[in-house]
Amino acid sequence: MTDALEIGENLQHTLKSEIGCSGTGLHTGNTVSIVLKPAPEYTGIVFRRTDKAGNNAELEALVDNVVEATLCTTLGNDEGIKIATVEHLLAALAGCRIDNVYVEVDGPEMPIMDGSAAPFVFLIECAGVVEQNKTRRVIEVLKRIEISDGDREASLSPGDGFSVGFEIDFDSDAIGKQDKSVRLVNGTFKGEISRARTFGFAEEVEQLRKMGLARGGSLDNAVVVSGDKILNDEGLRYDDEFVRHKILDCVGDLYLAGAPISGHFQGFRSGHAMNHAIVRALFSDPTAWRYVEGEAVVAEPELMLATA
């Protein structure tokens, strides 16, 4: 028998036990397996390519290691080791307050699962979460930082805890304009964001596959839009599933800061590249942020702390 306690607000956390799964890579179309393993304090999120030999097969989940941002976030190093489509798992780890974990992957891309972060949240819940002996280190935003690229904008501002606001505007009757703001506390990531799936347009599939992308995409792992119609038989999980997924991606990309952020992100038509860029812009101004110890930023009360 085990007792269950609420997760400590201010301490680092890892998994109680290792757990794995297999699935299809969205862009490669190959079957890939992953194993999540507990890691010591201050490890952070570390990806390991188990199909590659040597220490160079490890990649820390840090914005400095991002090498590509076309339709997904790809980590890489100077040795040519890459792992793509890491953002959904990172979002689940951020939402579940996992500070330290090893992620073993036997290929160059994470499995897409159902196109959302919900399967990874389920894995984390099944593995269990344990407190560690060191306090969390949080990045506190001290002043507003903003960037733009044409009609795309992103900003980070001081805020109470971690919140994300996002607006999208697509020339598609099925999507159109959507906006949503979420403060990520008290289970809102799991309850409101984690199930939102990635999406794409039917008319772009052939071109993407010529580019070596979306080879594993299907109606089982993405919302597919054709004109003003949703092609998935079950339709949408939320009326605004598209903007919710953008928030999901953003949560994962911002976790590449290397620690939870205390502040508010606001994005307009932002994507992976701008999400990475706003983290770099924050770090480039030493007056815009500071580390603080022991702050609770994202709390998921549904996840219970298991103790022997």
Query: Do 142 and 287 contact (CB within 8 A), yes or no?
Result: yes
- Helices marked H in the chain — which ranges? 87-95, 118-127, 188, 205-210, 241-254, 272-284
Q: Is 13 a catalytic residue?
A: no
Residues paired with 267 in a beta bridge: 154, 166
What's the CA gap between 87 and 19, in Å, rounded? 19
From 13, 27, 245, 272, the catalytic residue: 272
What's the CA gap between 292 and 53, in Å, rounded? 37
Cβ atoms within 10 Å of 3's Cβ, excluding its own: 9
**Distance in Å from the first CA to the final CA of the chain:** 8
Helices 118-127 and 87-95 meet at what angle, rounded to 10? 50
Catalytic residues: 272
